[in-house]
Amino acid sequence: MPISGTIYISGGEFNFTDGGYVPPTWSGSVYNFGAPDIEQWVDTNLQWTDDNLDQWLDGITESGTLRLRQVWTDNQLYIYAATSLGLRIIDAPTENVLNDMTYIPGFNTVWCNDYNVFLGTNYGIKYLSSACIDINIDTDLLPCLNDLDFYYGTSSNVIRYLHGNENLLLCITDAEVDVLSLTGTIYRSSSTTVSGNAYKGFMTSTGKFYYTLSGSNWSVERVDVPVMDWTTPHRSYAADGSIMTSGIAIRDIFATERTSANGTDNTLFIATSSGVYVIDEGTNDYAVYYTTGG
């Protein structure tokens, strides 16, 4: 979410260079951001406004209230916005809306690779081919929308979150965490223990993946090799006071690959209800970015 007002940072800073992300060398630093001048941010072109309950709100339309569920962008700089009323495609450089595809009751999540845009609904996974989007960007895209079928199916038709790489699709449902093959192999592996408590996920290029899990303490779980069903992850980062404060909620997860100080492991960016935790998986060094103004 964009932060309005003057931002004050104390302590060491991240170093982003032309060669890529340089990992931090400190542990346990706390960064305090000054309170924003205003509590609500409005993009002057797109008119998305921050709504605490429904993330981003775009007002009332003839079809109902348009709420943004998730955004993703591709290599062509198309921004795909999954909303409660369908899919909005935006040109990133100009911020012009290129297409508004109405689909009721909307999409919960969106992710794309070089070939397809995948959309999660309460009735399974849909997809649009990138080629069909390019050809029909100025017309109705609904005829391009197809069901994504797998031999074994998903653990539930209620799709909360999608992410993936060129070969695998990470699918968070209201029942389990599924890993689905996109290469034609009859293949699905699933967690058998999340009991509908997983919400967000991140798949790396190697197939190692992460997902958020709610419970007595929220946590980020990591699975290194998704080739079979699993009951215990390979690594868990819990909001239990060890790194993350006890009792906070985890909102989202992002990883930068091979950016650890050891040059092999990943760096995690964990968005929580109290700030952003940045963790070097190779060294367990971490930093916390807090917002002090609400």
What pLDDT is attached to residue 25? 54
Residue that is written with structure tokens 């492991």 in the block? 265
Closest CA relative to residue 101, chosen from 74, 131, 127, 75:
127
- 213 close to 202: Cβ distance less than 8 angstroms: no
21-25, 161-165, 247-251, 288-292: least confidently modelled range:
21-25
Q: Which is it for strands 286-291 and 29-33: parallel, antiparallel or unpaired?
A: parallel
Whether residue 255 contacts residue 210, with contact meaning beta carbons closer than 8 Å, is answered with yes
In this structure, of 52-56, 224-228, 286-290, the range with the lowest mean pLDDT score is: 52-56
| Bond preceding residue 93 cis, omega within 30 of 0 | no
pTM over 0.85, yes/no: no
Q: What is the pLDDT of residues 167-208, one digit of tens each?
A: 999 999 999 999 998 887 767 788 878 888 999 999 999 999
83-132 pLDDT per residue, tens: 999 999 999 888 899 999 999 989 999 999 999 999 999 999 999 999 99
**CATH number given to 46-249:** 2.130.10.10
8-42 as b/e, with b when 16 or more CB fall inside 10 Å?
A: eeeeeeeeeeeeeeebbeeeebebbbeebeeeeee
Please identify which residue in the block is written with the tokens 């689909």. Answer: 103
Name the residue ranges covered by the structural domains of the chain. Answer: 1-41+250-294, 46-249
- Residue type, position 84, single letter: S
Integer CA distances (angstroms), 244 to 107, 236, 240, 269, 275, in order: 31, 12, 6, 12, 10
How many secondary structure helices (H) and strands (E) does the chain include? 1, 25
Cβ-proximal residues to 131 (8 Å cutoff; 6+ apart), any chain: none
- Tell me phi and psi for residue 114, to 5 degrees: -70, -15
The answer to whether 14 touches 269, Cβ cutoff 8 Å, is no
Q: How far is CA 115 from the centre of its chain?
A: 19
